[in-house]
Amino acid sequence: MNAIASCHRCFELLPLAGMRRERALGRDFLLIEPDLLTELSERAFRDVQHFFRASHLAQLRAILDDPEASEGDRFVAMELLKNAVVAAGGLFPSCQDTGTATVYGWKGEQVLIEGDPVAAFEAGIARCWAKGNLRSSHLAPLSMYEERDTGTNLPAQIKLYATTGDRLRLLFIAKGGGSANKTFLFQETKRLLEPERLLAFLDEKIRTLGTAACPPYHLAIVIGGLSAEQCLETVKLASARALDDLPTSGDPAGRPFRDLELERAVLARTRRMGLGAQLLGKYLCHDVRVIRLPRHAGSLPVGLGVSCSADRQIEALVSADGVFLEQLERDPARFLPDRAVALEQAVPIDLDRPMAAIRADLARLPVGTPVLLSGTMIVARDQVFAAVAKRRAAGAPLPAYLRDHPIYHAGPARAPEGWPTGSFGPTTAARMDPYMPEFQAEGAALVTVAKGNRSPLVVESCKKHGGFYLAAIGGAAAVTAKERIRAVEVIDFPEFGMEAVHRITVHDFPAFLVIDDKGNDLYTLRN
């Protein structure tokens, strides 16, 4: 697996200098200067924050054209296409979680890189995050228990392989935390290698993905591997469609291959699960890749992972002919339908009222009801909830802002000049689940807004304490910032950076009632 599927991509020639031919030991070598890698990585990561592959956008449009798609499927697909249009403007990245910068490289033996290639790539990544309206999400451990944001989104994850030839092939990936969290390893046995047993196993495990990582997903499944790490790395590459040119059958030497028949069978099963594109329906997944690897006789690792709606990867090639970068779609608006997909019978909710009045309105609605939120919300997520819980354990009261307003679990990217905020989509609700019973028992976080499904713990807490959970559309952070957030103010924990407590004003912010005060959960009612 030493090549990426470049034959299916279109590339543009970049006007980058910094390479030359050198002859030594009777052979010609391509010598690459570090500044070239720095400029290339800066450009690549800038592009993936604002543009998508045309094939990904075409899959979203196909949902709108499918008469079997649910209303939820179509609304999510429409929001994601609108988000792509906003992101392509260059101000707002497509997702507020601008991801971990990851670089894979396959360096031919006739390619020489001057200096430290990792440092060269990281210099470009640092420049991209410093110049763009991006978000630093990486925490440096100062001790086992104390962390601090690096402020640069470094370090990056960089891996270079040695291969044959005189070219350097590269794959740049920006992988968000929510998507990365949906990577799983299962250590199984040969007993699993029976058709019906394997399908049943995959059906069970895919359902556990839920909707927290912004489906529709590009799903990758890997059966086998000479080690756990080989299995999971193959999952990551397959989810980026970087292994699409693998053969479709095995051989006695143990070559990896794609199982196209199993891909079709698994995709068909995902279409019948009912989870849909975040809000029930057909489109949990855009597509499925299933890759079979060789294995040790005593081990059968099985890997599962996704690329989410922030589907951000781009390929590059450096050769004697020049520096080439994959062309992403510059005109996503061409995938929009003639008519917009609107929320039918969405209920407006005025958030600038006492919490009791907001809850009374929500109590009258069945789960699944779309709402349009306008007014004040408080933004708080992982670090804030942990810090507040620690204060509470020491005897301090919970902050009034957690009681007085709905809580939006999110963390914004840097605001473009002249705008109140940068990209500002929801984060995964489930990470806050352990705090909910304690907080709700004291009248806090009784209405929360985030993305994805939540645990039975939250369902029971909402039933006991009169709480509600609303799901916003994950993956639509750019359009949310540009069209739905009117004002932003940091009011507590400024030292937490993007995880500080913000007070925001929203207008016609779309969400769906998922958990109510009667113990109903939209996702458990789907069947």
Query: If you average pLDDT over residues 85-91, what whole number do you get?
Result: 97
8 Å CB contact between 382 and 101: no
Task: Tell me the pLDDT tens digit for each residue of 26-84.
Answer: 899 999 999 999 999 999 999 999 999 999 999 999 999 999 999 999 999 999 999 99
Q: Write b or e for each residue in 315-342: b if 16 or more Cβ atoms lie within 10 A of its Cβ, otherwise e.
A: bbbbbeeebbbbebbeebeebbeeeebe
pLDDT category of residue 526 using cuts at 50, 70 and 90: low
Query: If you average pLDDT over residues 274-287, what whole number do you get?
Result: 94
pTM of the model: 0.93
Name which of 304, 310, 241 is nearest 100 in CA terms: 310
pLDDT category of residue 5 using cuts at 50, 70 and 90: very low
pLDDT value of position 249 = 97
Which is more confident, 206 or 338? 206
Q: Compute the distance between CA of residue 6 and CA of residue 12 in angstroms, rounded to an integer.
A: 12
Q: Residue 3 above 50 pLDDT?
A: no
Q: Residue 366 above 60 pLDDT?
A: yes
- ω into 155 cis (within 30 of 0): yes
Task: Tell me the pLDDT tens digit for each residue of 383-414.
Answer: 999 999 999 999 999 999 999 999 999 999 99
Q: What is the dihedral angle through the alpha carbons of 309, 100, 238, 272, rounded to the nearest 10 degrees?
A: -30
Task: Tell me the pLDDT tens digit for each residue of 289-320.
Answer: 999 999 999 999 999 999 999 999 999 999 99
pLDDT value of position 483 = 96
> CB neighbours of 164 closer than 8 A, spacing ≥ 6?
108, 109
pLDDT value of position 8 = 65
Helix ranges (H only) for 19-135 are 34-50, 54-65, 71-87, 117-131
8 Å CB contact between 21 and 29: yes
Q: Residue 2 above 50 pLDDT?
A: no
> CB neighbours of 67 closer than 8 A, spacing ≥ 6?
none
Q: Compute the distance between CA of residue 80 and CA of residue 57 in angstroms, rounded to an integer.
A: 9
Residue ranges covered by each domain of the chain: 1-51+88-172+312-326, 177-309, 347-515
Query: If you average pLDDT over residues 359-372, what whole number do you get?
Result: 96
Task: Tell me the pLDDT tens digit for each residue of 458-508.
Answer: 999 999 999 999 999 999 999 999 999 999 999 999 999 999 999 999 999
Q: What is the CA angle 136-486-387, rounded to 5?
A: 45
- Which amino acid is present at 321? D
- Let me know if domain 347-515 sits in CATH 3.20.130.10: yes
pLDDT value of position 338 = 87
| C-alpha dist (Å) from residue 120 to 34, 116, 342 | 5, 6, 46
Percent of the chain with pLDDT over 90: 94
